[in-house]
Amino acid sequence: MPSTQTFSAGANALQQANALLRKNLVQQRRAYLTNLCLVSAPIVFCVLLAVFQLLINTLVLTRPEAQCGCQCTKCCRMERGKPVSCGFLETGYCDVDRGYECFETNDNNCGVQYSSSIQAIWCEIPYPSSWPPVTRIPPTTWRARPWRPNLGLPYTSTNPPVARNVTSNMFRQLNATIPALLSIMRNLMVRNGTQFNGYLLSELGMDFANTRFPPQHYYIDSAFVGGGSEDESDRLYLMMPPGTCAQYGVTASNTTSFTDLLLRYFLGPNPNLRAAITILQAAQALPPGFNLTAVMESPAVGLLNRTLVSCVETFTTPVPTLEDMNYLIYCGFRDARCNSTSVIRSYAAAWDFNELAAASHFNTTVLYNLTLPVSRNTARNYRLPAMVNDAVRGWSSYFLRAGKEISTELLGLMSFPKPKTDAHFDLSSLLGPLFYTWVVQLLMPTFLQQLVYEKEKRLRMMMKMHGLGDPAYWLITYCWYMLLYIVYIAIFIIVGAGAGLKYFRKTNLGIQIIFYFLHGQCMIAFAFMLSSLFSSSTTATVTAYLYVFASGLIGSLLLQTFMRTDALWCFFVEWVPAWSLYRGLFEMGQYAFLGVYRNEPGMQFSDLSDAKNGMLATWGIFLVEWPIFMLLGWYFEQVISTGNGIKRHPLFFLEWCWRKKQHDMGSGRRSLEAAAPPHSSLTVKGPGGEMADVAAERARVEGLTDVSNTPIVIKDLAKTYPGLDGGKPKRAVRNLTMAIERGECFGLLGPNGAGKTTSINMLVGFLEPSGGSAIIEGRDIRREMQDIYKMMGVCPQHDLLWEQLTGREHLFFYGRLKGLQGAELADAVESGLQSVNLLAWGNRQARQYSGGMKRRLSVAISFIGRPQVVYLDEPSTGLDPASRRGLWEVVKGHKSGRATILTTHSMEEAEMLCDRLGIFVDGQLVCIGNPKEITSRYAGYLVFTITVPPHEDERARQVVADMSPSAVLTYELNGTLKYELPTSEVSLSSVFASMSRAKESGLQVLDWGVANATLEEVFIKLARRIGADTKELT
């Protein structure tokens, strides 16, 4: 008869979300230290970068090399760490690399005239200096023979005679008079020594060379500001035609000062400049009042005299073909090792004159050895202007002069005017993409660990079995992760900007908010998707951290290369979420770095349209991947079994295409035949077929035409696990068939591994049946578990509790999931705690509970919310006798109106609680009925025990044989004998009569007893017999 008790219809989606939200807030409040540590990660990283930035600003950017040079008023030459001689510098700088050290500076007098080439880039230079073009030549010991220490310069052409004439005009002697020379020297340095007009030296016909690498700029050319040392890299060469250096008394192997070299040229080997000036003034070749001392002591002469000068002669030599010349130049390189030799034969330059037929055609190629390990995308100056200038000079001298001077030469090189700049180095912008890729993703391992942990510990399934739907779980979990991420990123941006990191201050705040928000949604969705691929939270966490750190490192090594070389490949690589993040961070970092250097803002919305700006692409990728990851996360959760219930077929979304929907037949009546196949391929019967009571139960179930009023109807339920390593499949449950009525408590007995828990797990939706099905309150477990969850309660075999929650909070949470509210909820919680004797400990966290207290709390959870079906899997395990008795009263008090399935190893518990019992052995039901019926049906014997002295053992045996010829000896030890006496042969009265006669006959009986067989003895006997039989059939 249907019960009149009112049952909860379960909570709707909003109520489920509210319950989960309240539970999560309590958990997070208890774990506030963990959350504080989590959100403090960006603080640590930003402060660390700020400290490094401060150290750089203090220790590096305040060094003299990072500032415009100031006048040194005490420049001393150092020997063995001590100053030897000191002086006051009118111009130039005190070069530490050449053994000098400045002890005093005039910080009020700074400018390019006191700066090295490194310092010059920081100075205000409204009028840049010009410098003659310089050819970079090999060091003396590397120059090719037979011209060493002079220069051999190869060339080739399709017109050798004309090329010979052109190359003979490439280099020239000096071409100036003494008045012109002195006038040029007087005008070399102007504007108070801040502007050097080096192009005037080119007008004298000078061609310069140096062994140094070229400068990065032409505010100061390091070739002209040597320190006067004998080192060859400090030496400036004049390139002259063959046979001309001897006129100056200087060769490629010795040096002199710049002015002395000029005087030697104009006045002979032993020049007397003052005598020459007197003669020129008398001849009125110089203006009146000409001040020779002022010229010789001018800043320009002082600058040039600091550099030692040599003369090197140039020998142009023809080569038959371009291929030969390429081979010649390559093999001259120090690491070429052509012909298995390490001899170095370097050439400064070579020319291929392609077209020299007429004055209207000039086409030449300059060849040189590129020995710098620099990326092809890095712009560098390789002293090419001087090499091109030599070729143009030779061509124009031969073809265009024709009786008149035509200037086609490059006289000088100069950089653009510039304002004063300060040295800036923004570490956050330079290292930001790598470090921030790590920082921003640090939440992902935490998200993934929490998602997998709840599945691994079956907490997710426990919530699901008590009515929590997937939409509510996903909504609350997603919102919590998003809130945590927003707080995390807000702290990241605020602390970064507060610490003065230009990466945050220069980049538009709106761009940062949009970028981080979109990435956060994509990252959370990515974590949901990955959670279905792991069954261990430890493995998931380790994998996530490896992903975070590896993606940053690979992004900095791989993605930057793609960004520079292959935009298409870069776009495909960015579909990995971490690399999209890296690309966006890289773009912001580059714009911030340039903004610091140029003293401008970083990335703004107007910059998003730049041709190579990839920010919009990352936004688009995030927007596309966000819903895709969420959809895949939901799909994987359905088809991959990782602790979230029954997995579905990979094409479950197409079921409507091949399966016709089944409907109730006649007034809502549900047929069991619609829920399960009528025949199962897993049917296994004992040697003599099923027991009569099991067969009767099967017939009763098969005879049910309407199961809507029967709470639990099971037919042919089976579970088979695949064999391991090619072994036989394991049949855990074999065609379980039975029905449980409302108000009935059904007990499942069986040894460990018999299949009891597996059967429960299939009924609660944790495992998918291999065959058969079950109808719970008119709903099929294969297709309608979401509805079944709302009306059932479960006490699992192992306690599934949150250690941070109290017992009362557990009951409040599950009560809300059942739809309880207000006073009804509070009353249910209090009564639940009181019923299991936990009222005094209701406000203690579960971590403080003993094993027995946790077990009682699990039972209270299973009954809260008035479920219609309750599953109790070994509920009294670990309880003391008093608690066990109290728990039995709780179960008996909740039997009315609901179906209960209980598994236990306690025969006493089964007899106390269960209306019917089913004994499970090796996966199959071997008997069913109420405890007394089973005992009487399968016992059929009395248990007789007798103890006699050892010498009376044979007489005792004979007494039992006379009493019951079919008696079975089950135990024997030192005079104690235990028998099973068939009730068909004896009765209690006959046993007493037999024992009375035995004593009268003189048998010495120390003790004896007789009793009916217990349920436990029946269970053991059946388990041994049926277990052996079924194993023979397996």
Q: Using H for helix, E for strand and C for coil, what is the string for 857-906?
A: HHHHHHHCCCCCEEEEECCCCCCCHHHHHHHHHHHHHCCCCCEEEEEECC
* Contact by Cβ (8 Å): 234, 288: no
Q: What is the pLDDT of residue 786?
A: 84
Q: What is the pLDDT of residue 668?
A: 36
- The residue among 996 and 5 whose pLDDT is bigger is 996
Inter-residue long-range contacts of 970-979, CB under 8 Å, 24+ positions, other chains counted = 974/950, 975/947, 975/948, 975/949, 975/950, 975/1006, 976/945, 976/946, 976/947, 977/945, 977/946, 977/947, 977/948, 977/953, 978/943, 978/944, 978/945, 979/943, 979/944, 979/945
Beta bridge partners of 143: 346
The beta strands (E) that lie in 230-332 are given as 236-240, 256-257, 308-318
* Contact by Cβ (8 Å): 72, 110: no
Q: What is the pLDDT of residue 402?
A: 52
Residue found under tokens 């792991």: 534
User: What does DSSP assign to residue 123?
Assistant: S
Residue in 446, 642, 436, 435 with CA at minimum distance from that of residue 545: 446
Rounded to 5°, angle at Cα 862 from 858 and 868: 170
Residue in 191, 209, 201, 216 with CA at minimum distance from that of residue 120: 216
Q: Which pLDDT band, with edges at 50, 70 and 90, does 94 fall under?
A: confident
Q: Which pLDDT band, with edges at 50, 70 and 90, does 872 fall under?
A: very high
Lowest-confidence region among 369-383, 393-407, 888-902: 369-383
Most confident of 348-357, 827-836, 927-936: 827-836
Lowest-confidence region among 270-274, 297-301, 511-515, 557-561: 270-274
Write out pLDDT tens, residues 299-308.
666 667 677 8
Distances in whole angstroms, Cα of residue 883 to Cα of each of 845, 857, 873, 903: 20, 12, 17, 18
Per-residue pLDDT at 700 exceeds 70: yes
User: Which letter, b or e, does each residue of 141-156 get, where b requires 16 or more Cβ atoms within 10 Å of its Cβ?
Assistant: ebbbeebbebbbbbbb
The beta strands (E) that lie in 224-322 are given as 236-240, 256-257, 308-318
> What is the average pLDDT score of the chain?
82
> How far is Cα 305 from Cα 296, in angstroms, rounded to an integer?
10
> How far is Cα 35 from Cα 44, in angstroms, rounded to an integer?
14
pTM reported for the whole predicted model? 0.70
Q: What is the pLDDT of residue 61?
A: 78
Q: What is the pLDDT of residue 271?
A: 61
- The residue among 44 and 475 whose pLDDT is bigger is 475
> How far is Cα 204 from Cα 918, in angstroms, rounded to an integer?
117
What are the tokens at 634?
A: 């939901």
Q: Which pLDDT band, with edges at 50, 70 and 90, does 969 fall under?
A: confident
Q: Which pLDDT band, with edges at 50, 70 and 90, does 960 fall under?
A: confident
> How far is Cα 374 from Cα 384, in angstroms, rounded to an integer?
16
Q: Which pLDDT band, with edges at 50, 70 and 90, does 89 fall under?
A: confident
Write out pLDDT tens, residues 588-612.
888 888 887 777 888 899 888 888 8
The alpha carbon torsion through 616, 620, 626, 629 (nearest 10 deg) reads: -120
Question: Helix, strand or coil for residue 458?
Answer: coil
What are the tokens at 180?
A: 């012109």
Q: What is the pLDDT of residue 655?
A: 64
Per-residue pLDDT at 723 exceeds 70: yes
Cβ neighbours for 908, distance < 8 A, ≥ 6 positions apart: none
What are the tokens at 106?
A: 């005039």
Q: What is the pLDDT of residue 518?
A: 95
> How far is Cα 819 from Cα 10, in angstroms, rounded to an integer?
5
Write out pLDDT tens, residues 909-935.
888 888 998 888 888 888 888 887 777
* Cis peptide leading into residue 161 (ω within 30°): no
Q: What is the pLDDT of residue 688?
A: 44
Per-residue pLDDT at 20 exceeds 60: yes
* Contact by Cβ (8 Å): 720, 731: yes
Per-residue pLDDT at 43 exceeds 70: yes
Q: Look at the chain and count its residues.
A: 1034
Distances in whole angstroms, Cα of residue 909 to Cα of each of 748, 891, 905, 938, 1015: 11, 11, 8, 19, 11
CA 456 to chain centre: 22
Residue found under tokens 């405890």: 931
- The residue among 358 and 328 whose pLDDT is bigger is 328
Per-residue pLDDT at 37 exceeds 50: yes
- The residue among 683 and 746 whose pLDDT is bigger is 746
For 897, counting Cβ atoms within 10 Å of its Cβ (0-12 exposed, 13-18 middle, 19+ buried), the class is middle
Helix (H) or strand (E) holding 695: helix 692-702
* Contact by Cβ (8 Å): 421, 121: yes
Per-residue pLDDT at 229 exceeds 70: no
Q: What is the pLDDT of residue 682?
A: 33
Q: What is the pLDDT of residue 529?
A: 92
Phi and psi, residue 443, nearest 5°: -75, -25
Q: What is the pLDDT of residue 226?
A: 61
> How far is Cα 65 from Cα 1004, in angstroms, rounded to an integer?
117
Write out pLDDT tens, residues 95-123.
777 778 888 988 888 888 888 878 888 88
927: how many CB neighbours lie within 10 A of its CB?
24
Q: What is the pLDDT of residue 530?
A: 92
> How far is Cα 80 from Cα 694, in angstroms, rounded to an integer?
107
Edge-first strand order for the sheet with 100-110 is 82-87, 70-79, 100-110
The arithmetic mean of pLDDT across residues 302-316, rounded, is 82
* Contact by Cβ (8 Å): 163, 231: no
Cβ neighbours for 427, distance < 8 A, ≥ 6 positions apart: 49, 52, 53, 56
Beta bridge partners of 920: 925
Lowest-confidence region among 588-592, 725-729, 868-872, 1029-1033: 1029-1033
Q: What is the pLDDT of residue 302?
A: 65
The arithmetic mean of pLDDT across residues 28-40, rounded, is 85
Lowest-confidence region among 99-108, 353-362, 574-583, 745-754: 353-362
Distances in whole angstroms, Cα of residue 67 to Cα of each of 70, 95, 102: 9, 15, 15
